[in-house]
């Protein structure tokens, strides 16, 4: 049995803010996707696909939804290992959310905080893992 904090993952619902594409979330998703070894162009197309699915109301906000099929549909024919890595780092929650820095992994944090140097993020994760929890501010 493994418990996973859904807010440790990138929430695909963040790709839309009030029904409109969110450029910052889109950039973060593309960075996260490409960080799993998938091509930049494929990741950009995947962001378009997911935004369209969410905008069209295919995925009504009621409960967390399976992201594996959404990721597979958005990236047909992509490397299964890379798809699985991306699916493990994404979720579709009922509403937009912040990423929980206390439970998130380095790749997700790198995607959502591009201005922070990777070495600084790694140091923060070391502090966190030593029991010095971080405060999320939104």
More confident residue, 40 or 18: 40
* Token output for 60: 């009504």
Which pTM does this prediction carry? 0.89
Is the model's pLDDT at 57 over the cut of 70?
no
Q: For residue 132, what pLDDT band results from cuts at 50, 70 and 90?
A: confident
Q: Contact 54/13 with Cβ under 8 angstroms?
A: yes
Can you give the length of the chain in residues?
138
Q: For residue 1, what pLDDT band results from cuts at 50, 70 and 90?
A: confident
Residue 6 CA to residue 72 CA, distance in Å, equals 19
The alpha carbon dihedral of 57, 92, 32, 108 has a sign of positive
Is the model's pLDDT at 67 over the cut of 70?
no
Is the model's pLDDT at 138 over the cut of 90?
no
C-alpha distances out from residue 7 to 81, 109, 113, 114, 119, Å = 22, 12, 15, 18, 23
Q: For residue 82, what pLDDT band results from cuts at 50, 70 and 90?
A: very high
Q: What's the whole-number mean pLDDT along residues 41-54? A: 95
Domain ranges in the chain are 6-129
Residue 105 CA to residue 138 CA, distance in Å, equals 19
CATH architecture assigned to 6-129: Orthogonal Bundle (1.10)
């Amino acid at each position: 049995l493994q418990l996973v904090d859904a807010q440790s993952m990138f929430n695909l619902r963040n790709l839309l803010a009030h029904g409109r594409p969110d450029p910052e979330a889109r950039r973060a998703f593309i960075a996260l996707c490409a960080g799993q070894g998938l091509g930049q162009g494929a990741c950009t197309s995947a962001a378009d696909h997911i935004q369209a699915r969410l905008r069209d109301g295919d995925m009504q906000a009621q409960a967390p939804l399976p992201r594996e099929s959404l990721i597979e549909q958005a990236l047909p024919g992509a490397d299964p290992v890379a798809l699985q890595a991306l699916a493990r780092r994404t979720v579709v929650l009922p509403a937009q959310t912040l990423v929980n820095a206390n439970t998130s992994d380095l790749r997700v944090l790198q995607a959502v905080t591009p201005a922070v140097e990777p070495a600084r993020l790694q140091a923060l994760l070391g502090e966190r893992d030593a029991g010095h929890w971080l405060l999320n501010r939104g």
